[in-house]
Amino acid sequence: RTCGTEDLSQAELEQLFEMLGDGSNRSSVVCSGTIVVACHVIHNGATGLLTQAEVDAQIAELNANFAPNWYQFVLGQVDFTNNPAWFNLQTGADEFAMKQALALYPAQTLNIYSCIPYGYLGFAYFPTSFPENSFEHGVFIDYRTLPGGAYVPFDLGRTATHEIGHYLGLFH
């Protein structure tokens, strides 16, 4: 699989459908139309170190992909962390530590982490996976999948689009 987002159990599906309902219970991140993004660039020295232009291109791709659904993405912050274990993410403990250290305002901000996430192109958690304000929410993408990246043919920036769909409650 190229996507590491896990399928939901029947109980989790029912919880998600109940939460989404008519849309009135959705978070401010999801239903405001404007989604503020914090991009956390995890790198291993020079490997994985994205430029501001690459991050901006990803935001532009998200806006192009989600415009028909009236979502707009605004880059709120970019930060850079040199951490080899987090860059080549292999354990839940490292994922937890990374998100605990870096997540910004999870109830109001979409935290995107670029790295090599468990060998997948990307993954995300569904809205019901954690409490609304939990730092554990977030989207992970392989840094090489940004527009113009090195992961051909997945170098169009659409991995982030796919994973953000899960973050918003969409299934495969």
Name the residue type at position 159. Answer: T
Q: Which of 54, 61, 95, 163 is catalytic?
A: 163
In terms of Cα–Cα distance, which of 104, 127, 105, 123 is closest to 114? 123
In terms of Cα–Cα distance, which of 98, 141, 104 is closest to 121? 141
The reply to whether 95 belongs to the active site is no
Q: What is the DSSP string of 4-54?
A: -PPPPPHHHHHHHHHHHTTSTTS-HHHHSSEEEEEEEEEEBTTBT---HHH
Catalytic residues: 163
